[in-house]
A and B are shown apart, each in its own frame.
Chain A
Amino acid sequence: MVIQEGLTVKEKLHILADAAKYDVACTSSGSKRAGVSGRLGSAAEAGICHSFAADGRCISLLKILLSNECVFDCKYCVNRASSDVPRATFTPEEICTLTMEFYKRNYIEGLFLSSGVVKSPSHTMSLMYETLYLLRFKYQFMGYIHVKGIPGADQGVLERIGYLADRMSVNLELPTSEALKRLAPGKTRKTILEPMRLIRRGMESNPGGAAPGAYWTSRMRWGEADPLLAQKRAGFSTCIPGDGVNAGRIFADDPGIRAKTGLLQENGGYHLDTAEDPSAEILPSGSGFLSGGSFRLERSWLPDGRLSNYVPAGQSTQMIIGAAGESDYQIMAVSEALYRNYDMKRVFYSGFLKTTDDSSLPDTPGGPPLLREHRLYQADWLLRYYGFQTEELVNEKHPNFNLLLDPKCDWAIQHLEQFPVEVMRAPYEQLLRVPGIGVKSAQRIVKSRRFGRLDYDSLKRMGVVLKRAHYFITCQGKLMLPVKIEEGYITRGLMSVENQENWQISHPDQYRQLSLFADFSVR
């Protein structure tokens, strides 16, 4: 391990931003906080992107590690203990000053603090807590803070830090517990899921309960027949602070996915959510959530003068894709279980890129699997906003996404019996399933069709992508073009639309040759 003394802030920033770059999430959404006179900062509900790096990823937060020293030796991680990289550690004051000065200049929306494991998970988390405490109370910072939960850290500090942050995330790292055991010897499924569960319970203890993420919001609106939904509805409206019983009911798991895939089970029979109320095991009596105690004091102290909520912007997580040979079905089933049972706001997917020379990992000579990652994000959106379920998109028979077509087009072609739909009459949920119609355009259609007839031109101006949608809709009873509702024909049509896009995603740094036909509509 290369430990360097006497680094300047600039050198540390270089090392610790470089070490933090493999974390995917950089969103600043989910918290809404008006500015308070005399204190710097506010938070915008939808989040704000402040820049875009050379890889096209959004820069919203000052994403840094507190330290890249690490006692763990996860095989995929550039900061693993046995890795030969320069090491650095920020002091809490240095992080606060950087955050405040960057924020004033409108470079950032706030701080995203993660860290390698210094000494022990609990020791690391207390350093992070100290930093956040200084930032909120000494510097009176009101901007956005995302903090990483370190698996295996003491729950006391996890509870405490959640009142200072807007969002917390604990990385799931790998979709199966077998892969985790093989590649991340310092972590187990259990030490990862426990803090996630703790965070969820903390959110449920907020006044009004945990705010539902997009997954449950869209399902609640449709009122579909879902055994968990009724419980969710009850849970969100009746959860009151300190009410462990109510919160416990939401723990009911979805036996479907678990039984079929066994993915979220720890080897050796450890269950994600046991039937009994697990609060006894996770939250010994006397800890903050259930009994008040010293904890409430801390809550009311927050610098905005109001009672603060626990992790108000919810929690997220991320998985590495393509390091351990898992299928898209396994990944999506895990994601859906996380949305259903852990109220995740987001699951992020990180295409595996080999940064260490560990022989147990696959090589990535062509760069990370970008197209596969793209398909997973598309499917993730279909789960959260479009009412799809994993098994409709991938299942045991078709465990992987079609790389040539996006998951929605692929689904539609497999279900031609449901098309074409008439835009003047089709219910909202059905419109959402049409390729080329998104959430916004579906809402616009439903809103405006009450007042008069729509035609293809007005659909286009509402944002419908007709080159995809026209195979699947009729408008006032007419198709836009004389197309055949036939699988091969439509597949060929959609592929010609998508080919170029797919190529671009897999070859991000190359510019493509212009084509007279595709680019200038010469026919």
Chain B
Amino acid sequence: MLVFQCEDQAESILTGVYDAWADPVPNREIRLVLSDDGQQELFCEYRKVKTDDKKAQKVAESIVRKLGKWIWSDVEFVLLADAADKAQAVFSYLRLAFSIGPEIRQQLARPEVMRICELVRMVSREQQHLFGFVRFADTPEGILIAQLEPRHRQIPLLAGHFAERLNTERFILYDKRRREAAVHSPEHGWYLTMGEADGIEEMIRCSERDGYAELWQVFFDSIAIAQRTNPRCQQNLLPMRFRPHMTEFRRDKSGIG
């Protein structure tokens, strides 16, 4: 069996798909794994994928052309997921999709399709949550800054949404776990950036004095009906893992962080 080891990057996984597709030996069993994915197995030939943007581009384009934008959007979501099996899931799904065509999306009884659906649902559910749960705080320079620690890579999926509705504002969306940020200004739109973490974390400290945080906490407390208190329901709908970065749950110091 031939095993391709990909980096946890969209381009790398798509390059892996390209290379696996181009494998000259017929009928050889092929798997794609993420490179830090545990132990190697016996009787397998391991190959490190060398990320090639051109190959990735080709795969992406032929998905859009032959399978349509819906399947491409599914694949895009899965490539951002935090799941050890995502490279293999994408590969086996695409192999099937290219032989069956766009109607593969309806064939939920196939395990390859069901797995993609599950992964898409995981990522999009967190995205939907974060559309609501992201909290910005204002810095003295008038830049809105939000910090989050999403399970899946969400910054690319959130930036467009906020750039549209907050198009009048300068803002930064910062993924603390991956040290990745989206930076937006009214003049230049938004772009993704890595490795500006120190400057951003300094700004976050400055934003903790935002006075509206306290007003929001007052509102949050006043709007609940005491006789209906229901922590279990609240926790189902607003899981604990989001709360450290939400203004209304940070009472020791206001702002975000």
Contact = CB atoms under 8 A, between A and B. Distances in A.
A13 interface: yes
A294 interface: no
Contacts of A101: 212
Nearest to B117: A461
Nearest to B256: A105
A422 B150 CA distance: 42
B62 interface: no
Contacts of A63: 223
A134 interface: no
Contacts of A353: 225, 227-228
Interface stretch (B11-19, B81-89, B160-168): B160-168
Nearest to A367: B227
Interface string B104-126: 00111110001000100000000
B138 A105 contact: yes
* Residue among B219, B221, B225, B227 with max Cβ neighbours from chain A (10 Å): B219
A102 B212 contact: yes
B109 A105 contact: no
Interface in B208-251: 210, 212, 214-216, 218-234, 236-238, 246-248
Nearest to B134: A106
Nearest to A21: B223
A448 B106 contact: yes
Contacts of A454: 109
B167 A37 contact: yes
A292 interface: no
B202 interface: no
Contact of B222 (A13, A50, A504): A13
B193 to A, nearest CB: 20
A139 B78 CA distance: 40
A105 B212 contact: yes
A453 interface: yes
Contacts of B186: 38
Interface stretch (A51-59, A281-289, A395-403): A51-59
Interface stretch (A41-49, A218-226, A296-304): A41-49
A520 interface: no
B215 A21 contact: no
Contact of B219 (A17, A104, A367, A462): A17
A55 B222 contact: no
Contacts of B132: 48-51, 60, 106, 109
A451 interface: yes
B224 A53 contact: yes
A48 B131 CA distance: 7
Nearest to A18: B222
A370 B228 contact: yes
B106 A451 contact: yes
A53 B146 CA distance: 21
A458 B114 contact: yes
Contact of B234 (A9, A18, A38, A53): A53
A354 B252 CA distance: 34
Contacts of A35: 164-165, 167
Interface of B: 103, 106-110, 114, 118, 128, 131-138, 144, 146, 162, 164-169, 186, 210, 212, 214-216, 218-234, 236-238, 246-248
13 contacts: A14-B222, A18-B223, A41-B165, A50-B133, A54-B229, A54-B231, A353-B228, A451-B109, A452-B107, A455-B109, A458-B108, A461-B118, A508-B229
What 3 pairs across the A-B complex have the smallest Cβ distances? A56-B233, A508-B230, A35-B164
